[in-house]
Each structure stands twice: as C-alpha cells, then as structure tokens.
Amino acid sequence: MTEHASNAQPATQSEITPIKRRKLLVVVDETPECEVAIHFASRRAKHTKGGVVLLAVLEPGGFEHWLGVENLMKEEARAEAEKVLHQHAARVNEIAGTFPELEIREGKKADTIKALIKEDRAISILVLAAGTGKEGPGPLVQLVAGGAASGFPIPVTVVPGSLTDDELHDLA
C-alpha cells in the first residue's frame, strides 16, 4: 500500500470564522464633546469600512419607591433618548455613509457599556471625547480614567474635544 499526500490545505481562521464588520462604540449624552466623539467614530468607520454603535444609557432615577413616577420618568427618558439617537444617527449617516446601530439600555454607565461590549464581539473600540471646559474632561472620560476602563476588554480612544471638523478629517 502506498500513502498519498493530501493536497488539502488547512483552513485559515478567516475561512473558519467569518470576519465581522468592526464597530466603534460611542456613548451618547448631553455633553458638547459627544458630537466630537461621534464625528471621529463616523470618519474612522468610513475609512475602515466599519460600523458605529450609538449607545444611550438611562441611569436609575432614584424614584423606585414611587412606581408611577418612576415609570413615567423612564418613558420620558426613553423617548428623549430615541429622539437624540436618531438625530445623531443622521449625522453618522452623513459622515460615514451608513446608518449606525442604536442602543438604549438602563443601568449604570460603566456596567452597561461593559455588558454591551461583551454581547457584541464586533465592537472593537470605545470612542470618547474629552471636554474642553474648566470642569474637566467630562463625565465619561472621568469614569474611564477613574478605573472603570480596567474592565473594558477593548481599547478606549479619547479624542480631544476641541478638534475642528477639518482636524477630525485629518486624524480619522
């Protein structure tokens, strides 16, 4: 009996697991620097053929003992978050040429961000923008700088909040 060498090549990782489109995550809030983070993430997604995920986090309101008030506040907060996300989604589409995924979640910001990253393995970068005012870099950057980032399994990009659109175009 003679043995024949196999011509079959071992499968590469990309043949075994389809490559997912990488996504950049931006946490949407009312801060002015949020616009800069969205712009940077949109430009970066366009250049890398990736996607953008916009996340609005509804934090606990402290009205748990007033169930009717709490439910009304949650409904109002969700409606406002949807409105804001759709406004930002239009901006992402204008810059990146694609619509972002929109997420509204309830909970503490750090825990909610970590949970979404764990659920969606295609999210590869968290994009934040630093505030430019005298009150500091902004609540999200402070949260990350305060140690919350140690639990994030992905890189965090902090973009200076003072960048102009032209500077963002050059960087992303």
Within-domain flag for 72: yes
pLDDT of residue 76: 92
Cα–Cα dist 93/42, whole Å: 8
Cα–Cα dist 108/28, whole Å: 14
- Residue 37 confidence (pLDDT) above 90: yes
Q: Of residues 49 and 66, which shows the higher confidence score?
A: 49
Count structural domains, the chain.
1
Within-domain flag for 15: no
Helix (H) or strand (E) segment spanning residue 50: none
- Residue 171 confidence (pLDDT) above 70: yes
Tens of pLDDT, residue by residue over 2-33, are: 444 445 554 444 444 554 689 999 999 988 89
The residues, any chain, with a CB within 8 Å of residue 25's CB and separated by 6 or more, are 41, 52, 53, 55, 113, 116, 117, 123, 125, 126, 127
Tens of pLDDT, residue by residue over 128-138, are: 999 887 777 87
Return mean pLDDT, the chain. Answer: 84
- CATH number of the domain at 42, please: 3.40.50.620
32: containing domain: 20-171
Confidence of residue 65 (pLDDT cuts 50, 70, 90): low
- Residue 1 confidence (pLDDT) above 60: no
- Residue 59 confidence (pLDDT) above 50: yes
* Cβ atoms of 42 and 168 closer than 8 Å: no
pTM for the predicted model, two decimal places? 0.82
Within-domain flag for 2: no
The residues, any chain, with a CB within 8 Å of residue 106's CB and separated by 6 or more, are 57, 58, 59, 60, 74, 112
Within-domain flag for 6: no
* Cβ atoms of 128 and 152 closer than 8 Å: no
